[in-house]
């Protein structure tokens, strides 16, 4: 049996953090893996403050992504490659970790250049919604590239992972054998991988938690306290789980309720995180999300409010909006002028 | 059918907050309930700063518990009664909300004075552990007083509930009919009661979450960040659930994973809370819990470390300590000099 070749498609903050772990694990398993770990880097010229030069050259000379993960030494076998086709050449395990808006174009470039039997793993948050169709990115990658694709998500602030602070993550695998290889690539003493047979559940957690983080930010802005915030997080978690169970096959409740991808990532997103922060400012100031994204994030777009909108349009097409009152409230508050204080109206229900 | 009479046994911060809700609900349901809501108050003389006088007199004149819930107006039908036997006389619904260390003595006083058919509800946190026997307080009350007893717990910081900030809570009921009456006594627009048929689960959540809050405080003291804290909370929640399922009959996973008593109360306890705070100081300073309780809380005892010790001794008697590595770590760190940094050793496990 030949050795496996891993490639990382993407090189932002999270991709670079992952390259540190994967690079080291690959070096420690020379019988299983080719030593070289190519990382596709969208080429850019660094400005003078960062010393100039091309980003790929700087990464390969300094073994540091000075732009997106400064201060963290990357293993020397991580090689920045500006051409995506060159990066993936010969790869048998592909990690997709790029902003979701670039995925479609990247897939188009890769079509016909991925060898049969290659395995994929997506770390991309969000879901692809078109009218009454909802698709996780793992399924999109599988369909478009004809490969098996698993999904990773968890309570994973990239800088903390890169600094080797204790973290957990969840991989939802397509089959156990692939899951075990992904674990050998990514698991470490300070980054504990848990395997679960639930690609869709893991993917949905990473998308839907951003809606709940917006709701949690509203509560912070209203200064309603810890009881209300915990209540909103609980209600949001249950809606996330119910959504998964209603619209996807073979999704497991435990993915949402017991895994790092579910309850734990929800906690980090609602305690800190940018979706929470912008939503807090929204509740305090009454400014729009667009304005606040400009003011607070230099125009960078957040996924929370956008996901709330997409999920709302999907639920409308299914006539199921009312079954998810918190998701509904977040959408209507963010986009339709609904009063922020009404966020709790109808969300807390008991069977008796 | 005669009207029901409610009595609150206890009048601290939480008991007083509850009296505000119950008092108002009773007034709004004059056909179902006697108007008067006696609240047993352990009599004390207020010092000069608080204006002097007996606490019961002040509560009944000012309709405010100036010592334990200052600034909150209580409904006028809440009547402070210094004699516990007089307080419970004729009561058909008894709410127990007093420090757990006073429960045994209070039960002794009440024996033979509770009319048959009375229903109980306990809001007391903690469990009663003696060697290899573990008992929730609802069962203790049932056995000793010969009455049916339900349990209430949730993400309920008392002051926030008293200020009518949005909160949820969970009642684990003995039977549906009793559950519905408890809900009519305690549910309000800003204090949403969810009913579940799981007295033991609800009770255990309120006890075991304090162990996890200590673990979360350790992480804060170590400055390991949000990923690690979310991981510890997740692991703690799963150990809580596993403990309930292993040692009690008819406990439901959902109580831990989906109810306010479970996941939501865990969040409030790990975000704020005194157990978390003292544990953080423990990790930072190396001082003992006894010392820190003196310094930070005027000698008041916390339940987190004490519960960790009781649960450890129970698990030892069952030879099951190793199945609960986080509970074990908290006990050993707090009492046996184990290194705080070793808290994550062995806690994160995956089946594959």
Predicted complex: ipTM over 0.85: yes
Helix (H, G, I), strand (E, B) or coil at B345: coil
B158-192 pLDDT per residue, tens:
999 999 999 999 999 999 999 999 999 999 999 99
What pLDDT does A302 receive? Answer: 84
**Maximum Cα–Cα distance for chain A, whole Å?**
66
Does residue A258 belong to the interface with chain B, where contact is any CB pair within 8 Å? yes
**With 90 as the cut, is the pLDDT of residue A210 above it?**
yes
Shortest Cα distance, chain A CAs vs residue B269, angstroms: 9
Q: Contacts of residue A234 in chain B, CB cutoff 8 Å? A: 155, 168, 258-260, 263-264, 267
CA neighbor of B100 nearest in space, from B68, B137, B130: B137
Does residue A193 belong to the interface with chain B, where contact is any CB pair within 8 Å? yes
Could you tell me how many CB contacts below 8 A there are between chain A and chain B? 157
Q: Taking each helix axis from N to C terminus, what angle separates A176-186 and A13-27, rounded to the nearest 10 degrees?
A: 100
Question: How many CA atoms does the CB half-sphere of B177 hold within 13 Å?
Answer: 2
Question: Once rounded to an integer, what is the mean pLDDT over residues B221-247?
Answer: 98
Inter-chain residue contact A260 with B234, CB threshold 8 Å: yes
What pLDDT does A1 receive? Answer: 62
What is the C-alpha separation between B343 and A78, in angstroms, rounded? Answer: 32
Q: What are phi and psi of A256, to 5 degrees?
A: -75, -45
What pLDDT does B1 receive? Answer: 62
Q: Which two tokens stand for residue B61?
A: 């004149």
Q: Tell how many helices (H) and how many strands (E) occur in chain B.
A: 15, 10
- Return mean pLDDT, chain A: 96
What is the C-alpha separation between B271 and A268, in angstroms, rounded? Answer: 11
Q: Contact, B37 vs B7, CB < 8 A?
A: yes
Residues near B182 by beta carbon (within 8 Å), at least 6 away in sequence: B93, B119, B121, B150, B152, B171, B173, B193, B195
**With 80 as the cut, is the pLDDT of residue A350 above it?**
no
- Return mean pLDDT, chain B: 96
Helix (H, G, I), strand (E, B) or coil at B305: helix
What pLDDT does A281 receive? Answer: 96
Query: Per the residue annotation, which of B67, B209, B229, B252 is the catalytic one?
Result: B209
Does residue A271 belong to the interface with chain B, where contact is any CB pair within 8 Å? yes
Helix (H, G, I), strand (E, B) or coil at A56: helix
What pLDDT does B51 receive? Answer: 87
What pLDDT does A303 receive? Answer: 87
**With 90 as the cut, is the pLDDT of residue A5 above it?**
yes
- Burial readout A283-321 (b: 16 or more C-beta within 10 A, e: otherwise): bbeeeebeebbeeeeeeeebbbbbbbbbbbbbbeeeeeb
- How confident is residue A277, by pLDDT bands cut at 50, 70 and 90? very high
What is the C-alpha separation between B157 and B176, in angstroms, rounded? Answer: 27
Query: Per the residue annotation, which of A209, A229, A277, A328 is the catalytic one?
Result: A209
What is the C-alpha separation between A120 and A92, in angstroms, rounded? Answer: 8
What is the C-alpha separation between B86 and B186, in angstroms, rounded? Answer: 23
Residue ranges of B 195-254 with Cβ closer than 8 A to chain A:
195, 224-231, 233-235, 237-238, 241
Fold held by B6-197: Rossmann fold (3.40.50)
What is the C-alpha separation between B313 and B328, in angstroms, rounded? Answer: 10
Find the CB nearest B352 among A160, A176, A260: A176
**With 90 as the cut, is the pLDDT of residue A71 above it?**
yes
Question: Once rounded to an integer, what is the mean pLDDT over residues A156-182?
Answer: 97
Question: How many CA atoms does the CB half-sphere of A231 hold within 13 Å?
Answer: 32
Instruction: Give the domain ranges of chain B.
Output: 6-197, 208-344
Dihedral angle, C-alpha A244, A246, A248, A250, nearest 10 °? 90
**With 80 as the cut, is the pLDDT of residue A4 above it?**
yes
B112-136 pLDDT per residue, tens:
999 999 999 999 988 999 888 999 9
DSSP B27-51: HH-TTTB-S-EEEE----BPPGGGT
* CATH entry 3.40.1010.10 includes domain B208-344: no
Residues near A45 by beta carbon (within 8 Å), at least 6 away in sequence: A52, A53, A54, A55
Question: Once rounded to an integer, what is the mean pLDDT over residues B283-303?
Answer: 88
Q: Across chain B, where does the E strand assignment appear?
A: 6-9, 37-40, 78-81, 93-96, 119-122, 127-130, 133-136, 148-153, 167-172, 191-196
Known active-site residue B209: yes
DSSP A129-181: EETTEEEEHHHHHHHHH-SEEEEEE-S--HHHHHTT--EEEEEE-SSHHHHHH
Find the CB nearest B166 among A166, A234, A344: A344
Find the CB nearest A225 among B157, B229, B344: B157
Inter-chain residue contact B351 with A195, CB threshold 8 Å: yes
A100-148 pLDDT per residue, tens:
999 999 999 999 999 999 999 999 988 999 888 999 999 999 999 999 9
- How confident is residue A51, by pLDDT bands cut at 50, 70 and 90? confident
Stated as kind and residue range, the H or E segment containing B325 is helix B325-335
Inter-chain residue contact A166 with B193, CB threshold 8 Å: no
**With 90 as the cut, is the pLDDT of residue B352 above it?**
no
What pLDDT does A20 receive? Answer: 98
């Amino acid at each position: 049996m030949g050795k496996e070749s891993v490639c990382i498609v993407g090189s932002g903050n999270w991709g670079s953090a992952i390259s540190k772990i994967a690079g080291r694990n690959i070096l420690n398993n020379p019988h299983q893996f080719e030593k070289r770990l190519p990382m596709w880097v969208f080429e850019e010229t660094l400005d003078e403050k960062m010393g100039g030069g091309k980003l790929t050259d700087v990464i390969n000379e300094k073994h540091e992504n000075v732009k997106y993960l400064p201060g963290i030494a990357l293993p020397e076998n991580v090689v920045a490659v500006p051409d995506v086709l060159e990066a993936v050449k010969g790869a048998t395990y592909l990690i997709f970790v790029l902003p979701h808006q670039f995925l479609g174009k990247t897939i188009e470039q890769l079509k016909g250049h991925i060898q049969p039997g290659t395995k994929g793993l997506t770390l991309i948050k969000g879901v692809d919604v078109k009218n009454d169709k909802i698709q996780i990115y793992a399924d999109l990658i599988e369909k478009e590239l004809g490969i098996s694709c698993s999904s990773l998500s968890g309570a994973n602030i990239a800088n903390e992972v890169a600094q080797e602070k204790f973290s957990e993550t969840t991989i939802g695998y397509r089959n156990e054998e692939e899951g075990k290889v992904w674990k050998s690539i990514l698991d470490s003493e300070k980054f504990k991988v848990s395997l679960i047979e639930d690609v869709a559940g893991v993917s949905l957690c990473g998308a839907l938690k951003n809606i709940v983080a917006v709701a949690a930010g509203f509560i912070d802005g209203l200064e309603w306290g810890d009881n209300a915030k915990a209540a909103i997080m609980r209600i949001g978690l249950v809606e996330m789980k119910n959504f998964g169970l209603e619209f996807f096959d073979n999704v497991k409740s435990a993915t949402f309720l017991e895994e790092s991808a579910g309850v734990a990532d929800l906690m980090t997103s609602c305690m800190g995180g940018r979706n929470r922060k912008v939503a807090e400012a929204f509740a305090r100031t009454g400014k729009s999300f667009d304005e606040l994204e400009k003011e607070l994030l230099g125009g960078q777009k957040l996924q929370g409010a956008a996901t709330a909108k997409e999920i709302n349009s999907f639920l409308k097409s299914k006539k199921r909006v009312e079954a998810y009152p918190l998701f509904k409230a977040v959408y209507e508050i963010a986009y339709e002028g609904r009063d922020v204080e009404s966020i709790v109206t109808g969300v807390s229900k008991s069977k008796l």
